[in-house]
Structure 1
Amino acid sequence: MVYDGIVLSLLIGWFRGGSLKGLAHMKLRGGWLFPLLLALQFVIFFLQEKVAWIAKMSNVIFLLVYITGLVFLWLNRHQPGLPVIFAGVLLNFIVMAANGGRMPVSVEAAQFLGREYIEALKAGLYAKHQAITSDTLLPFLGDIIPLSPPYPRQQVISIGDVVMNVGAFLFIQHLMLSAPRHGKGNAGEEKVTASVNQ
């Protein structure tokens, strides 16, 4: 879900006159952690059904990933938008930690994702997700918000995901608008030069 927010923010930042060069100039403490955590989650996702020990330890690995991510966000809390992302990640971490390292998913909200997904969810075949039951703690923080057409991607998200997207939007807008496109900057310089010459 956060990836959707990033794409939307990039588009809006561009239409507002911002530049992608702002992304290249961002300075984050421990910046190498973010791509590492992202790559680790993809590795777990693709290998969870092929490597036995990854499947068994996936819930612990995901919690460690979240903890590392929270530390990274806290170190960079001075950056606009990152405290909001921290809050969203913390909400997701709390509900996952309370439920054995997996994100609870509402079966009712996920019905449109198909029978196979629901059956796998109930059977606990997913490393990161599990169905919400009467034993689930803090179910309101789980994936309970359905997104279906006209939204371009069908998925179920959590309150924490929504908060993270707001933070990502604010952060990217800050970066892009701090480095406006050259065309806009040159036009402004020409106007200043013209007024001085007059």
Structure 2
Amino acid sequence: MVYDGIILSLLIGFFRGGSLKGLAYMKLKWGWLFPLLLGIEICIFLLQNKLSVIASLSNYLFIAIYIVGLAFLWLNRHNQGFMIIFIGVLLNFIVMALNGGRMPVSIEASQFLGLEYIDALKAGTYGKHMAIDNSTLLPFLGDIIPLSAPYPKEQVISIGDVVMNVGAFIFIQHLMLDYKNDKSSLQTVNEGR
């Protein structure tokens, strides 16, 4: 869901006259960490059903990724939107940590995703997800919000995902539009000489 929000933010930024050049001026402490964590998470997702060692450690690895990700966001909290992203990630982290390292997902909200997905969810073999049941703690923080047509990608998201996307939207708009505004200010100053 976060990737969808980033793409939407970029499109709206263009529509508002912003520029991708603003992204080049992004200053993040430990900026290399985000792509590294994403790569590790993808590897865990791809290997957890193939290697028993990864399967047995996957829940702990997902939690570790979230902890490092939260530290990264906290270090960069001065950026517009980052505290909102931090809150969204924290909400997802809390529900996952309380439920053994997996994100609880509503079976009812997931019905449109197909029987294969539901079966994998119930079996606990779908990535970092598990089905919400009577033992789930804080299920309202899990993936309970269904997105289907006319939304282009069918999925189920959490409140934390929504909050993260709001923060990412604010951050991207700030980068894209501030570059435009800074460029206009410089041009006005230069024309005034």
Q: TM class by shorter-chain length?
A: over 0.9
How many angstroms apart in 2 are the aligned matches of 1:137 and 1:191? 58
Counterparts of 1:57-136 in structure 2, within 5 Å, are: 57-136=57-136
How many angstroms apart in 2 are the aligned matches of 1:64 and 1:71? 11
Ranges of 4+ aligned residues in structure 1 off by more than 6 Å:
none
How many angstroms apart in 1 are the aligned matches of 2:188 and 2:78? 35
From the CA coordinates, give the structure whose radius of gyration is larger: 1
With over 3 angstroms needed to count, the CA separation of the structure-2 counterparts of 1:181 and 1:137, relative to structure 1, is: same
Q: Contact 1:18 / 1:180 at 8 angstroms: preserved in 2?
A: yes
Deviation at 1:190, TM superposition (A): 7.5
SS in 2 for 1:152: coil
Which stretch of structure 1 is more off in the superposition, 48-57 or 92-101?
48-57
Deviation at 1:21, TM superposition (A): 1.0
- 2:49 matches 1:49: yes
Q: Runs of 5+ in structure 1 lacking a partner?
A: none
Residue 170 of structure 2: aligned partner:
170
SS in 2 for 1:178: helix
The amino acid across from 2:49 in the alignment is E
How many angstroms apart in 1 are the aligned matches of 2:188 and 2:29? 37
The amino acid across from 1:15 in the alignment is F
Aligned residues: 193
How many angstroms apart in 2 are the aligned matches of 1:118 and 1:31? 36
The amino acid across from 1:138 in the alignment is L
Q: Contact 1:55 / 1:127 at 8 angstroms: preserved in 2?
A: no
The amino acid across from 2:170 in the alignment is L
1:165-189 Cα offsets, whole Å, 9 max, x none, are 000000000111111299x849x94
Residue 137 of structure 1: aligned partner:
137
RMSD across aligned positions (CA): 2.0
How many angstroms apart in 2 are the aligned matches of 1:191 and 1:80? 26
The amino acid across from 1:77 in the alignment is R
How many angstroms apart in 1 are the aligned matches of 2:30 and 2:157? 28
Residue 33 of structure 1: aligned partner:
33
Structure 2 length-normalised TM: 0.94
Q: Contact 1:59 / 1:127 at 8 angstroms: preserved in 2?
A: no
Q: Contact 1:103 / 1:130 at 8 angstroms: preserved in 2?
A: yes
How many angstroms apart in 1 are the aligned matches of 2:188 and 2:127? 57
SS in 1 for 2:146: strand
SS in 1 for 2:156: strand
How many angstroms apart in 1 are the aligned matches of 2:138 and 2:187? 55
Deviation at 1:16, TM superposition (A): 1.0
